[in-house]
Structure 1
Amino acid sequence: MEVLLRFARAIDAVNEFVGRMVSWLTLFMVLLGVYNAVTRKLSQTIGIDLSKNTYIEMQWYMFALVFLWGAAYTLKANAHVRVDVLYSRLSPRGKAWVDILGTIFFLLPFVALVLYTAVPIVYDSWRIREVSPDPGGLPRYPIKAALIVGFVLLFFQGISELIKRIAFLKGVDVEIATEEEELAL
């Protein structure tokens, strides 16, 4: 079990690092959004187009990275949205069982299905070096690869959470984030 817990801690460390790094993209995304809004209004006022599709797509790409690469960090922090009507009333052991069953029967199969369907799409995008059809748009193939990276991170974080819950049920002292804890960004 100790080997599995070391593996889980390594996954946690990777997703902690990625989550913290990607959280900074939120600031840049907001700043770019402000720039896009201001230049769009200014362009209407002065009659000269200052806005560019490149900046709008950059903002969209940053949002995609925050969402996709931050999902595993959110799972690690136990901050995903869930219906807590019954879950919140369960004992820690009951919660561990719900988390184990949810991970095995919902999370991991869902992530596997997304990866199964996305890999050929991403492969084709890279093969043709897909670009945005909009003037001044960015290449699309790198951001499509971010989909694969995000779901691989989520899959491994699901494995980590599964290992920690099983260890908890076996009586091993493990640190599991609770729904009361906040994300420590």
Structure 2
Amino acid sequence: MLSLLKISDALSAFVVAIGRLASWLFVPLAAIIMIDVVWRVWVGSNPALTSSWFHRNIGSTKLQEMEWHLHAALFLLAIGFTYLKDGHVRVEIVRERMRPRLRAWIELLGCLLFVLTYCYILLDFGIDFAQRSYRTNEISNAMTGLSERWIIKSMLPLCFVLLALSAISVALRHLVYLFGPPELRRRSGQFVEVDHLAEMKQETEEEIAAYQAALRKNETGRAKGP
């Protein structure tokens, strides 16, 4: 079980590193948006700028396409990271009413039956999607748009590789939580998002109630006597 946690930690560290690196794409994305807005304002007030080198070689079309390229790359490369940080949408009003082990079982089955299956299908599609773009040297439909469109399309299969690694990491932690010894179970539970203080309190209260019931039963037995 300890080896499963080590594998999970290694996969998680890799996905988190990619996600944090991808988050820096927000900086050039914000910069390009500002440049595009400012440039269009300038061109609108001074049409002579349309003959400038910047307008002829870069222009608003390339800037706008680069905006959605960076936005798509940021989104796709951060999906696995977001899942590991439990940042995706859940139906909390239902989930919070479940016992910790039931939540862990649902998460484990969801990873194995749905997430990994979905990743396999989309990975197979995404690889072919990017390969066809590369073979045909696909470019933008706009006359002044970006070329090498296979680069952004390659982000799709990469996204689902990272998401699959995240799902494997999560599944391994849930296996340890469900079947591992207590000391490893508590360590894995930090990701399972189980409140161990509340869980321990609940277990303690149940043990105390069972102990008190046993005492009352013994007292009743002694009171009746032989």
2:126 aligned with 1:131: no
2:35 aligned with 1:35: yes
Check whether the contact 2:100–2:194 (CA below 8 A) recurs between aligned residues.
no
CA distance in 1, matches of 2:106, 2:124: 26
CA distance in 1, matches of 2:194, 2:148: 39
Q: Residue 133 of structure 2 aligns to which amino acid in structure 1?
A: S
The one of 173, 177, 180 equivalent to 1:168 is 177
Q: Residue 126 of structure 1 aligns to which amino acid in structure 2?
A: Y
Where does structure 1 differ by over 6 angstroms across 4 or more consecutive aligned residues?
none
Q: Tell me how far 1:177 sits from its aligned partner.
A: 5.9
Q: Residue 80 of structure 2 aligns to which amino acid in structure 1?
A: A
Which residue in the other structure is 2:193 paired with? Answer: 178
Q: Tell me how far 1:128 sits from its aligned partner.
A: 2.0
Q: Tell me how far 1:95 sits from its aligned partner.
A: 1.6
TM-score of the aligned structures, taking structure 1 as reference length: 0.88
What do you get for the CA RMSD once the two structures are aligned?
Answer: 1.9
CA distance in 1, matches of 2:117, 2:82: 19
Q: Tell me how far 1:11 sits from its aligned partner.
A: 0.9
CA distance in 1, matches of 2:114, 2:27: 32
Q: Secondary structure at the match of 1:3?
A: helix
Which residue in the other structure is 2:154 paired with? Answer: 145
* Cα distance change on mapping 1:145 and 1:138 into 2, 3 Å: same
Check whether the contact 1:8–1:164 (CA below 8 A) recurs between aligned residues.
yes
Check whether the contact 1:53–1:136 (CA below 8 A) recurs between aligned residues.
yes
2:165 aligned with 1:156: yes
Deviations 1:75-128 (A, max 9, x none): 110111122221122232222112112212221111111112222121111222
Relative contact order higher in (CA < 8 Å, ≥ 6 apart): 1
If each structure's helix is expressed as a fraction of its own residues, which one has the higher value? 2
2:126 aligned with 1:118: yes
Deviations 1:125-171 (A, max 9, x none): 12222222221413101111111111101011111100011111123
Which residue in the other structure is 1:183 paired with? Answer: none
TM-score of the aligned structures, taking structure 2 as reference length: 0.73
Which residue in the other structure is 2:21 paired with? Answer: 21
Length, aligned pairs only: 180
CA distance in 2, matches of 1:139, 1:178: 42
* Cα distance change on mapping 1:58 and 1:179 into 2, 3 Å: farther
Q: Residue 38 of structure 1 aligns to which amino acid in structure 2?
A: V
* Cα distance change on mapping 1:127 and 1:120 into 2, 3 Å: same
2:126 aligned with 1:93: no
Check whether the contact 2:4–2:176 (CA below 8 A) recurs between aligned residues.
no
Q: Residue 6 of structure 2 aligns to which amino acid in structure 1?
A: R
CA distance in 2, matches of 1:38, 1:91: 54
Q: Secondary structure at the match of 1:120?
A: helix
Check whether the contact 2:69–2:152 (CA below 8 A) recurs between aligned residues.
yes
CA distance in 1, matches of 2:124, 2:157: 10
Q: Secondary structure at the match of 2:173?
A: helix
